[in-house]
Amino acid sequence: MATGQKILLGGVSALLLVAVIIGVVAGVMRSTNHIGDDFEMPSTNKNNINTVSKSIDSLCHITDYKDTCVDTLSTVNDDNGSPDPKSIVTAAIKATSVEFEIAFKKSKTMGDGTHDNMNKEALTDCHELLEYAIGELQDALASSERGDAEHIRRRSDDLKNWLSAVMAYQVICLDGLTHPELKTNMTKGLDKATELTKNALAITTEITNLLDSMKDALHLKDGLIGMGGAGAAAAGGGLLTAGFLKGGRKLLNSGVNDGGRYPQWFSAAERKLLRSTHSNKVKPNIVVAKDGSGNFSSIQKAIDSVPLKSTERFVIHVKRGVYKENVIIGKKTLNVFMYGDGSKKTIITGNKNFIDGTPTFRTATLAAMGNGFICKSIGFQNTAGAEKHQAVALRVQSDLSAFFNCRMDAYQDTLYAQTHRQFYRNCVISGTIDFIFGMSSSVFQNCLIIIRKPMDNQRNIITASGRSYKYEDTGIIIHNCRIVPDRSLQHFRKEVKSYLGRPWKEYSRTIYMESQIGDLIQPEGWLEWDGDYALKTLDYAEYANTGPGANTSERVQWKGYHIIKSKAEALKFTVGNFLEGDSWISYTGIPFIKGLKN
């Protein structure tokens, strides 16, 4: 970042910090009547209002769409002329939600003149994806309206998670459309929604970063948090109640039980069950078996029997066998724990693919959308083959989802880590082109990544991150994994070029840490997508990897690529920090490394 930019952002932050303090103090004092009889509320004056107005304008300068931002935040001042962080964030999310409702209605009238089946399906996908976006925004809005500034700060990871998913749904919708007129119309219909989503992400990030910096600057005294220096002067010498700006972040759907933090959908009994890594110790609600010895012989029928929107953990045991079916775990099917008898014994297989007319979004052998999905000891396959191009074995949209001892096998686009927070441990993933891809926040730990032999004249690429905006807290993290050639590629591994990743979207983020990289990876390591597209804005990095393919002396010289040299920077991308793993993975029964291995 240029020096001038740093000075500008510093000024923006300082000005906004003063205004935020004004708003928070005013809001807290108005709702508190037991501070003390000798406390006098600082009067709202013209200078304060001018400061607030300037702060809103300054905040909007960090967004991509400044005029839209100013228009969105023009009504956030309360009766005393003081905006607070809750009002600012809520206004940004609410405006985005309203615009998506409008875009969704418009989309229903599109495509009447489009007769090709692929685009008809893609348009249906758009409608579904926009419904998902509206749902995510409603969740974010409900959360932002629920609490105060401290609530906003503590829930910032959840808010950004929802907003990042909303960004992803827009991109996936547009990518699926190939009819020129239809794509143009849908793009125009989503233009304003895209602007507002990006602004909401930027605003939420900037506000919560400022609140974090305020937390560090404030101190507890006599049960109150005092302010000193410029902040106290700007706020008229006020004090904040002890409930403001204390405590760490906590996931929105997490609670406290027996002194520990874990998602509410884990009861104490379930937590004990799921801590066991031995699936035969878990008593299932239903059993799926090919031989008729269970409750169902079809996995989909078993999924269809799960109570919708349940807050209780629902356990499904899928006995050994090859299940030839495409399974969908719907958005309202929550908290499913599904386990098999081993990833080579319990196998779900399908062959839907792009070449035969199915959009990539719909090719998955299993699609997990309901939040809280946990899976152990199951294999997922798409057997369409390399010649059928995009053919997904597993698509995951489920937030706070985890996979342990699972296997995903296909060629192009094997694992679609689509959206939200995901964790993969001790899994095997094989493929050829972009075979780990998506727009989620995903960590792969202790996994075996197998590169297969592609078609003639093709190159192998392991990852393709779809992070499309700089404020998204998303990316693909490969930690303590092994990258090796498949037996079919072993003899040709030096002839077929293989790469660690390429940028699917402009702000693509992929980090390899403490992993063993085989000699099949090209010395330059990474591959461009299309000329110089995204090479300045992507975020690719490597840290403490080993093996013949880990030599970084001949790596690409892109502006967006770097070698991580400090442990502190690497820790940002670990399970504990990137996924807040202590808040939920701890109670899935899945082992994990919270930080770095060494």
Structure-token pair, residue 554: 């001949």
DSSP 430: E
Query: In sequence order, which residues have a C-beta less than 8 Å from that of residue 436 and are 6 or more positions away?
Result: 414, 415, 417, 429, 444, 449, 462, 463, 464, 476
Which of 126, 208, 193 shows the shortest CA–CA distance to 160?
Answer: 208
- Integer Cα distance of 261 and 275 in angstroms: 14
- Integer Cα distance of 164 and 158 in angstroms: 10
Residues β-bridged to residue 324: 349
Report DSSP letters for 243-263, one per residue: TSS-S----TTEEEETTEEEE
- Integer Cα distance of 462 and 483 in angstroms: 9
Which of 400, 436, 404, 444 shows the shortest CA–CA distance to 420?
Answer: 400
Strand runs (DSSP E) across 480-552, as ranges?
Answer: 482-485, 498-501, 509-513, 516-517, 539-543
Q: Are 502 and 534 in contact (CB under 8 A)?
A: no
Q: Are 119 and 111 in contact (CB under 8 A)?
A: yes
Known active-site residue 434 = yes
- Catalytic-labelled residue, pool 434, 486, 532, 582: 434
Query: In sequence order, which residues have a C-beta less than 8 Å from that of residue 86 and are 6 or more positions away?
Result: 27, 144, 145, 147, 148, 149, 151, 152
Q: Is the dihedral of CA 535, 429, 517, 461 positive or negative?
A: negative
- Integer Cα distance of 529 and 507 in angstroms: 12
Q: What are the b/e assignments for 539-565, b being 16+ CB within 10 Å?
A: bbbbbbbeeebbeeeebbebebbeebe
Three-state DSSP at 342 gives: coil
| H-helix or E-strand spanning residue 376 | strand 374-376
- Integer Cα distance of 497 and 489 in angstroms: 11
- Integer Cα distance of 281 and 274 in angstroms: 9
What's the CA angle centered on 169, arms 165 and 173, to 5 degrees? 170
* The residue to which tokens 């291995």 are assigned: 597
Distances (CA, A) of 214 to 30, 77, 206: 20, 21, 12
Helices (H), strands (E): how many in the chain? 14, 31
DSSP 233: H
- Integer Cα distance of 58 and 12 in angstroms: 5
Distances (CA, A) of 80 to 34, 41, 92, 379: 20, 12, 20, 60
List, by residue number, the catalytic residues: 434
